[in-house]
Amino acid sequence: MSFYLILYVFAIFLLTVTAQILIWRIFKPQQQILWLFSLCLGFPFLIFFIIFIIYLNLDSNSLTDLCYAGLLFFSLSCAYIQTYPAAQTFSPSLQIVYFLHKSGKEGLTEQEILNRAESLSTQAANVWFAPVVQLSILEAYKPKVEVAEYSIDSHPHLVEEPLRGVFEEFRKQVLALDPCVTESFLKLYVAYKAETNFVDIVPQAKRLRLSLNIAFAEINDPKEICKDVSALGRWGNGDVEIGLTKIEEIPYVMGLVRQAFEKQMGQEVDI
């Protein structure tokens, strides 16, 4: 492939790009990529094909050069089409650099900077615009979060005596253990927390079932009223279960609850 033929290919390519720029200045097509394909690939290759038809009697060397020329033009056109969208993309950062360079040594005044910032922000908003979505569509995709608030009235077994009185006295003593203790009414049980749950109450028809968050082997229970539920699935947190039915049982039960609380707070538990 001769040097002059290479120059001819580049000249045809430059003429194609010039034609594209002129067309874009007259009217800017809606489907720019399709027009680029037509200008950079379709029309020039039609010319190559016509040359090929006219000069069917080309020798093998000339035919090879014509093929090389077509391949070179194809490569240049593909590269141009691929980089065209990126070259047309608006870049506020490059615009800022351009205007700083244009201002020279004097720089820009404060008002010029503010005016330029407003202009760039307007252009950027047109490039990276927010999508317009109907409110009904947004509502359909919003997560459905149900915030349920529970109280003592959410547990029917705590409403009536005698368990109401037992619960009130027990909760009073648990909350008095430390100012950090908090009470949370949940759907199926009532939780008492320091760092995390140390005792939970599951209201039942005839008793309050307590779950202590402590290992069964660590609990000091002389009366042996604790039950190991580590292998059972129960509501509440912990491996130790206690049944509370009377106010008179609270002092001893509180001794067990205090062990779970002190264990959680990192204090020594006497066994």
**Among the ranges given (43-57, 222-236, 257-271), the one the predictor scored with the smallest mean pLDDT:** 43-57
Q: Is 16 left (phi over 0), alpha (psi -120 to 50) or beta?
A: alpha
Same domain, 66 and 134: no
pLDDT at 167: 92
Residues 64 and 121 in one domain: no
Alpha carbon distance 5, 253 (integer Å): 101
| Domain contains 171 | yes
67, 98: one domain = no
Domain membership of residue 29 (yes or no) is yes
pLDDT beyond 50 at 32: yes
131 pLDDT band, cuts 50/70/90, is confident
pTM: 0.44
| Residue scoring higher pLDDT (89 or 176) | 176
Q: Do residue 175 and residue 214 come from a single domain?
A: yes
Higher pLDDT, 56 or 63: 63
- Domain that residue 130 falls in: 92-141
Predicted confidence at residue 225, as pLDDT, reads: 92
Q: Identify whether 42 is part of a domain.
A: yes
Position 230 in a domain? yes
The residues facing 193 across adjacent strands are 182, 197
Number of compact structural domains in the chain: 3
Model confidence at 271, pLDDT cuts 50, 70, 90, reads: very low
**Residue 49 shares a structural domain with residue 126:** no
- Specify if 269 maps to a domain: no
Q: Specify whether 167 is located in the same domain as 242.
A: yes
Residues 66, 52: Cα–Cα separation, whole Å? 8
What's the pLDDT band for 101 if we cut at 50, 70, 90?
confident
What does the DSSP 8-state code read for residue 249? G
Output phi, psi for 228, to 5 deg: -80, 115
Same domain? For 166 and 249 the reply is yes
> What residues contact residue 219 under an 8 Å CB cut-off, 6+ apart?
212, 226, 240, 256, 259, 260, 271
In a domain, 9, yes or no: yes
Integer Cα distance of 9 and 248 in angstroms: 104
Higher per-residue pLDDT: 32 or 221: 221
Give yes or no for residue 253 having a pLDDT over 90: yes
Which DSSP string do the residues of 137-173 spell out, in sequence order?
A: HHHHHS---------GGG-GGGTSTTHHHHHHHHHHH
